[in-house]
Chain A
């Protein structure tokens, strides 16, 4: 069983398009996250949600909008895609906001042309 899953695994799209990445966790965790890993491999947190409530928003452009329909899902919608949005996006979850261990999904490689 996959603990944290993301779809799609690869996403290629043109500038200006709107796209979504879905994330689901079956661990029963309360907290979910989105991270971005750029071409230089630095991994940075974007958002965290606890029980569908936004906890962390790390100065991410408004074009990025996370949506948590329930605590098992955290989707990332990106409007007006730009070349600089090309990266690998990782979803993660943890039991609660202060848990030591985060479980990461396999990543979604987004390429904007």
Chain B
């Protein structure tokens, strides 16, 4: 799996968009970018994933650069409940031994 690099922490204001960057410069052509988050003392929660195209769902948007070496997770209107550790993961899907390898993630604190 490609290594991903994320900032250790970031703050954002409640109601504003939160843009979380992730670098994955060694990502291979068949590796997807996944985002999970872990709210304090809870299990991780899937947010979104993508391969090449930008993706949007009810939780967030994922913007992947054309060269696929980096991506940005966007929380459009951050709330206090979005305070969590956010993990960016690059992994091959579609195989029996597909697995998620979590790094240190970005600790996001949403402030009122």
Return the contact of A103 from the options B46, B49, B100 (Cβ within 8 A).
B46
Tell me, in angstroms, the Cα distance from A45 to B93 when the chains sit together.
16
With a 10 A CB-CB cut-off, give which of B94, B95, B102 has the most chain A CB atoms: B102
Given A41-B104, A56-B99, decide whether A100 and B93 contact each other with a Cβ distance below 8 A. yes
**Chain B interface, number of residues (Cβ within 8 angstroms):** 24
B contact face: mostly helix, strand, loop, or mixed: loop
Q: How many residues of A contact B (CB 8 A)?
A: 24
Determine if B104 and A98 form an interchain contact, defined as CB atoms under 8 angstroms apart: no
A91 nearest CB neighbor, chain B only = B43
26 sample A-B contacts, Cβ–Cβ < 8 Å, listed by A number? A41-B104, A42-B103, A42-B104, A43-B38, A43-B87, A44-B101, A45-B100, A45-B101, A55-B97, A58-B99, A90-B44, A97-B97, A98-B94, A98-B95, A98-B96, A99-B93, A100-B34, A100-B49, A100-B93, A101-B46, A101-B49, A102-B44, A103-B46, A104-B43, A106-B43, A107-B41
